[in-house]
Each structure stands twice: as structure tokens, then as C-alpha cells.
Structure 1
Amino acid sequence: MNFTAPPTRKVLLGAATLMCFALAPQAHAADASPAADETTIILGLGMGGTPRYMGADRYRPLVLPMLSIQHGALFADTTRGVGLQFQSDSGFGTSAAINYDLGRKQKDTTTSPGGDELRGMGDINGATVANFTLSQQLLDWLSVNAEADIRMAGEHRGNRYRFGLEGILLHTGRDTLSLAVDAHAGDSRYNQTFFGVTQAQSQRSIYSKYSADAGIYAYSASLNWQHTLDTNWSTLASLTVTQYDDQASDSPLVRHRSSGLGLFAINYTF
């Protein structure tokens, strides 16, 4: 379930949305797909701050409990949803999952994106999405990746996409420092849903009418530091900077074109 805006998924989004906790289970699968009879369980807790919604100039605190269960190629966790993943020895990776996007509220909330500034815009209800990722390692320290969130049910909010590069800046026995640079795009329905203002919404809110088309709406850069304490405990610190551009740059809903997200998480692997 995604509690953060897409550019942070970890990214983050994410990440990856979000974005960030997904790095922990992926680290265990970096060399090859897990053995079919191997089960990994990870519990974690993350705390940080994120913009109240995409383009907001105010922030809200994040408290993210995390549970990840992985058995062979199967996984189920609180950030990526339920799905399958594959990682080859040649560096090619792919995954497919079903997840849920919380949408956006027209009021301040601590559990999902939204803000009082959006009153009159109406809520964007949640949607079930199919998430697909592809990645290919180009060098020992560099990989290219892509992600698609395809709306399956719920709010007709359109589809979003992400394309990026991730590089390993430092890798030791206990520490991994990585940098990810991504472009975030949406189809016309997605961009209009999150950045556009219809005539009816304009009459109910303080915003002027604005139409968004398909294309890139943001660029982001994420710096992630994963530190292994022992065989069970590890920590993750992440900083993501997002710049709204192109389809979102002139949107009246984007009150600040640049935003940041910070997250610190501690994980326990059984």
C-alpha cells in the first residue's frame, strides 16, 4: 500500500512511493533469484517527512510499519503489494505485483496524501493497480530500470510510469550507498487527475482551470544508505529530491516545484 507520492518510491518510490523500504528485500536478491524453498521475513519501521501531496509546499510526518515476506519468487509486503519477482545471474530483473494506491484527499490527513488547500477539488479515491518493473545491470555499479503502475479497479486515475538509472557509489561489507535518478510520467488521465483543474473544480476551489496532457511530470534523485548492523538488523537512510516539470510545472496545484523527502528505517530479518 502506497503512503507516499510516486516520485518518492522508491524510488521510490520510490521508490520506489516509497519507495524506500523495498530496498531491504531486494538487497537479499541482488545476485540471483531466491531458492524456491527459502523464506525471508523482514519487519521494519520507518520515520520521516514527506510533502502532503504531489506539489504541496507543506509537509506531514511519516511513520511506516513494514512487513515483507518472500518465498522463492513470491513476495508480499506493505509497500510493493503481492507478486512475483525474478533476478537472473546476468543482471536482468523483473517483477509483477498487485498493489493499492490511496489516492488523494481534499483535507489534511496523517495516513494518506492530501491537504486543506485542495478543498473543492474533490477526493481522488483509491485504486487497485498492477505494478510492473524491469531492470538491467549495465556495469558492476550501474543499472537501468523502468516501472509502470496500471490502474485495474477503483478510481479512474490513469497510469503512471518511471524510467531511471541507479548507481552504487560505495559498497563495503556493511554499507551500500546508492544514487537513483528518475523521470516520472503519466498518461493524460493520470496527469489531469493529479495536476489538472476542470471547470467544475475551478468553480468550487481557489484554482484556475488547467489541462494536463500525457508526458513527464517530474524528475527525482534519491540518495540511499543501507547499513548492516549484524546478520539480523539493518538500517536505511534515504533522501529524495523531486522537481516538478513539463506537464506539472504550470499547474496551480503545484505550490512548490521542488520538494524533498527524508526517511530513516530500521529492519529486522528473520
Structure 2
Amino acid sequence: MNRKNKPFESSWTLARVLLASAALLVSGAGYADSSSPASDQTDVTLGLGVGFTPRYMGANNYRSVVLPMLSIQRGVLFADSTRGIGLQWKSSTGLSASAAINYDLGRSDKNTSSRYGSNALKGMGAVEGATVADFTLGQELLPWLSVSGEAELRMAGEHRGNRYRLGFEGIAFHSDTDTVALDLDAHAGDGRYNQTYFGVSDEQSRLSPFAAFRADSGIYAYSAALNWLHTFDAHWSTAVSLTATHYTDQARGSSLVANDAEAMGMAALNYTF
């Protein structure tokens, strides 16, 4: 872990981004088209995933995770263990939108298997959980290329601010059994969000080994994710996701961040009823 007088190196990762991508692949997803007769059908997918992720955004040590997954979708309604509970819609012109209520688990100042956290954060205090509203809007530009934006807004709980994402998804390969997609995203936060996860107050600096740092609003990271979905039959499928993330100058000045770039990955086995 960096000391107060050690120059900061950067890295960023967000497991929920990876997990949400995997969950979408897991369910085979798509958004419900309101004109589709299949909108009255209920789809249920169970999955079990394993992966590796940094202990918190900016950590230089990793942990392994085991993640049970559940996705239920009926028409425009969905309930998902990673995306929350909400509505999703897609038009015949490729315009899509969704709105969901979810929960951000925050960050612990101890090693934990259930959420981000590390013993190295002793003195920083815990970031408690927060209820969030998540809104996405996307547009298919070409049959193999789409653009999307996301806003995750804090509603209750920890005053952790809001985060935003803008990105492109391209289908690199598609067949009857396999789909390979590449995601390129920019991640941003308002001043409170960036300060919560990258900033160090004077009091925190006094109690921990980290130098004081004031984080401003703006883009704090760029990421690239490679997602592969393989379908065995109408019920069984596997999903694999690898994500590489690079911090911008917005977060690089913080002694909480230990590497300029980092990677995370996950694989899941899924059954759709």
C-alpha cells in the first residue's frame, strides 16, 4: 500500500460493470420489444460465476469471488441479482432504455468476501451502502455496433454521489452458438462520488497511511471489456468476461490508487428454464 510520501500510481476497476455485463450475456438478454408476442413469456436464468477482482477501486491486491446469479424477465419487467429491479424496452429502430432500483454495497475498511474492502484501508472508515436509481439509454448504430449511456443516481443511504458511463459495444463475432463482443467505456463521477472513492480528507490522512487528496468531478477511468457467450443448447450456456481499466489524471493523484492499469475477469455457467 502506498505511503504518504510515495508517488501515486493509478488503476481502477468496478466489479459491478463486469458482473452486469456477464449477467446480460448470461440471460441471453436483450430488451423486450413491446411489439413482440414473446413479451408475455417469463424467462428465468440461474447461474454460478467465479472471478477475480481488486479488493477495492485502486487496490494493488486481488481477491477471488464466487457469485450466484438470478435473472427473471417478463416483457419489459426484470429482476436481476446485479442490475436490480426495473423496466427495459427496445424499439424496432434500435433505440433502447431501462430504469432500475439497485443497491451499492459501498466499501469496507477490512478484508471482506461480500463487498469491496481491505485491511489496508484502516483509518479511512467504511463507505456505507446506498440505494441507487440506474438509468440507461442506447441506440443501435449498425447491426454490429451500438452506443449507450448510463446514470447511476444516489437515492438514499450513504451520500456517495452519482456516477456516469458512456460507451460503445461492438459485436466482433456471432454464430448460432457463440457471440463475442467488445465494450469500450468512459467512467465519470460527480465531485462527491469521486471524493468518496478516490479522495482522502485531512482527517483520513491523519488516521491512515494515505496522503490527503481532493478529487474533482469528471472522467476518472476508461475501460475495455471482452465478453464471450457460448450456448450449448436451449438451456445451458457459459459466459466469460475480461476487463482492463486505466485511470485518468482525475484519480491518478490519489494515493489510494496503486497501479496505472488493472484487469479483472469472470466466468459463469448458466441454466435458463
Pairwise TM-score range, normalised by the shorter structure: over 0.9
1:51 correspondence with 2:54: yes
What is the aligned partner in structure 2 of residue 237 from structure 1?
240
What SS does the corresponding residue of 2:117 show, helix, strand or coil?
Answer: coil
Q: Find the counterpart in structure 2 of residue 127 from structure 1.
A: 130
TM-score, normalised via structure 1 length:
0.93
Residues 220-264 of structure 1 show CA distances to partners (whole Å, capped at 9, x for unaligned) of 000000000000001001100011112111110001121111100
Q: Per-residue CA shift, 1:168-216, capped at 9, x if unaligned? A: 0000000000000000000000000000000010000001110000001
More relative contact order, 1 or 2 (CA 8 Å, 6+ apart): 2
- Candidates 217, 220, 225, aligned match of 1:222: 225
What do you get for the CA RMSD once the two structures are aligned? Answer: 1.4
Equivalent in the alignment of 2:64? 61
Instruction: Give aligned-pair identity as a percent.
Output: 57
Q: Does the alignment pair 1:23 with 2:25?
A: yes
Larger-gyration structure (1/2): 2
Q: Give the secondary-structure state (helix, strand or coil) at the position aligned to 1:64.
A: strand
Q: What secondary structure sits across from 1:94 in the alignment?
A: strand
SS at the partner of 1:236? strand
CA shift in 2, pair 1:104/1:19, >3 Å: farther
Partner of 2:190: 187
List gaps (5 residues or longer) in structure 2: 1-11
Which amino acid is 1:74 matched to?
A: L
Identify unmatched segments of 5+ residues in structure 1.
Answer: none
Q: For residues 148-167 of structure 1, give each alpha carbon's deviation from its aligned partner in whole angstroms, at most 9, with x where no partner exists.
A: 11000000000000000000
Deviation at 1:20, TM superposition (A): 1.9
Residue correspondences, number? 260
Q: Which runs of 4+ in 1 moved over 4 A?
A: none
Does residue 101 of structure 2 align to residue 104 of structure 1? no
Distance 1:116 1:19, change over 3 A: farther
Deviation at 1:8?
4.1
Structure 2 SS opposite 1:146: strand
Say whether the 8 Å CA contact 1:228–1:235 is kept in structure 2.
Answer: yes
Compute the TM-score of the two structures, normalised by the length of structure 2: 0.92
Structure 2 counterpart of 1:97, one-letter code:
A
